[in-house]
Chains A and B, each alone.
Chain A
């Protein structure tokens, strides 16, 4: 990795030209970077790891590189115009499926329109591996009627690899819950062989099907054909993004609401915010059927919908006894009773269990362990958490619990959820600063102001504990307390004098 060691001396001289392309009526220009730049290299690499040798792989991949100019075993018979890919070739053995082998299949497909593109794509990728730099630049490419959904990629090394100079991605929204038929997969493959590179990712981190590798010219054609079989573009840029939902109701007994309906009704209602980006920054919804949160909503979504229930966990005591008979009493105590985060479970002398449901926090652990004996209650619904995001730029945030419970069964319930989602997105559009996620907005204005703006009642489930700082003005405390008692009275069905 050091310039003095031979192979990677090429590093700096290879990078002689960058081209930054900004289309869409902006500017296009080319620059020459000083090829003689010398950087102080790090001294010795850290020595605090053990040597790790892995069967099936050569540790001496630098040696492999040195005599790599000779042949490419995977090229089509008879002729060899293929770029050598010595670095990538090392990623073909081993037991895990190799994406490099897949790229080569596309390169080697006779008479395919994408074959030259994939040869150059492999060349550029190997070039990245050798120089340890990426060579893609963004730009602006879109399809008719849409302002987003295409991720434009223009190569900065198109002089060396001209056929893959445009390698855009179409982000396409998958069916909620990621269900497909084999026929549908084949239809997608046929479309992508005709117009694109033949490379598809199921799925990207935002949940999109990523049709990777399309020329600017073919982008519209590919979209049109995908659209004709019932698929639509996902989100990109400062916009509503593609959502994800877990398998949920379709195959999971732990699911507490109809994820497909919640996912589709919210996203399809707000679709304009996805296709014509006009928000301050991205906004993501994710839908998990229970607190196991299989689509990582709390960390990754601005608006996380998590299934839960209000009544008691359902216990089948016969199945509890069977579980204990099979796994053992000590094991059950160690893995179920002792691991309950609120010490709400106890084991009876007759190998049945008792759950203090008032102390249970619906974490799902005991249900995960005893899948036949325990299940969520009947009074199911959703919790909503707002403000999850990753580091840029104030640091990581998880969503804050803003709606501890909402029923989600009737048409009216779903309408209420959709309206709430729409209000939050509208609030975000009106109040967030540019490049600010809603979690940052809440931090900036404070949770009380956010709740007030959205007409949400405060609730102890929103906090780990009440404030510890005394620096707050409390002269309207009595009025606020009166609101609380009135609300509690209303919730328990009592007549409230003010009404």
Chain B
């Protein structure tokens, strides 16, 4: 297939997961497994103290995740000129510079800020949005990722560089309902609103029809002859417009101006701290996919963030705050509608209903 590959390809060295100790800051390597406590001297800066008495300072900064080599080299230069040449990334694509000398912290922070990398993302802040590939690289996206995230982070920049939220606030975005962005205190996800539009001329040649039928979560797809050609048809009364059939069968186009909308979900949490981990829950659907700025989405995210910030107690995450104040109050404070679509209808839905006389007024 690869016509231009060398005649004798090099045999790969299947090294697997690289050993990180060769890249790790020497103080971290020396004190591996031997740390005692930590604190945060200022937003964006962590201080970890080892049982040996050694100290390491970490300065955390936001990046655009999708980085050109010039940006990466600029970060490498900062790492050499102002830090100790060792960096790491967090799961939310923030970069961390480690320094053993406290005197290096302030110049390092200044150098990052001067080059346009916001220092923050620690403690009770809004960290970088965990996101996906979108139009830049995905084969089934309903919207973009890096672009709309850039717009949202511009809006939330202030909450990244300070620690003024009740607890950490984690936001995710996803370009389709597969939700690669994951769970979040606020999750901003594509939500399809129309059944797929099928190009019947192509289905037989492009799609493994039984696999597509099997992929449907509500058994709404069945084989059919259309215009004399073997194809698939969708029972539109059953269809939940999830887009699961689109990936294995591109002629079942799920995206479109009339179909691709944005839904916002709240109260997802990964950590086990205090309450058990939770999934996010629907706050609002059917927002327009107005990239690049998503003004309607931003307005509502802004309102949810403000309501949480003004009303939650210290250490309460979004979902814990809502559980305390009740959903009625959440919808009231955020001026969002509660509709029949907020009532779950999926397997196990009954467990999400209030089967008690506990009420919020």
Contact = CB atoms under 8 A, between A and B. Distances in A.
A185 to B, nearest CB: 5
Interface string A263-305: 1100110010001000000000000000111111011100000
Interface size of B as a range = 35 or more
A459 B139 CA distance: 43
A252 B35 contact: yes
A481 interface: no
A312 B98 CA distance: 32
A1 B64 contact: no
Contact of B257 (A8, A88, A185): A8
Interface in A377-428: 390-396, 398
The main secondary structure of chain A at its interface with chain B is loop
B88 A129 contact: no
Interface string B157-191: 10000000000000000000111111100000000
A482 B21 CA distance: 48
Contact of A199 (B38, B66, B153): B66
Contact of A144 (B10, B117, B275, B336): B10
B17 A176 contact: yes
B154 interface: yes
Contact of B19 (A175, A199, A203): A175
A167 B139 CA distance: 12
A100 B183 contact: no
B17 A292 contact: no
Interface in A191-219: 192-193, 198-205, 207, 212, 216-217, 219
B273 interface: yes
A251 B137 CA distance: 34
A48 interface: yes
Interface stretch (A91-99, A350-358, A444-452): A91-99
The main secondary structure of chain B at its interface with chain A is loop
Contacts of B325: none
A363 B87 contact: no
Nearest to B48: A251
A288 to B, nearest CB: 9
Interface stretch (B101-109, B224-232, B289-297, B353-361): B289-297
Contacts of B293: 54, 57, 59, 61, 90
> Which of B38, B216, B289 has the most chain A CB within a 10 Å cutoff?
B38
B302 interface: yes
Contact of A334 (B65, B69, B314): B314
B116 interface: yes
Contacts of B242: 391, 393
Contact of B64 (A56, A96, A181, A369): A96
B257 to A, nearest CB: 6
A364 B272 contact: yes
Contact of B66 (A1, A99, A296): A99
Interface in A50-89: 50-52, 54, 56-57, 59, 61, 87-88
Interface of B: 1-2, 4-6, 9-25, 28-29, 32-33, 35-39, 48, 56, 58, 62-73, 75-77, 79-80, 85-91, 93, 95, 98, 116-118, 130, 132-144, 146-147, 150-151, 153-155, 157, 177-183, 199, 201-202, 205-206, 211, 214-217, 242, 244, 250, 255-258, 260, 268, 270-275, 277, 279, 284, 286-293, 295-296, 298-300, 302-303, 313-315, 335-337, 346-348
27 contacts: A52-B299, A56-B154, A59-B295, A91-B292, A94-B150, A95-B118, A97-B63, A99-B66, A106-B68, A129-B135, A132-B143, A136-B138, A180-B86, A182-B87, A185-B73, A186-B73, A216-B2, A227-B13, A246-B91, A251-B56, A264-B17, A271-B14, A296-B91, A335-B313, A371-B39, A372-B37, A392-B217
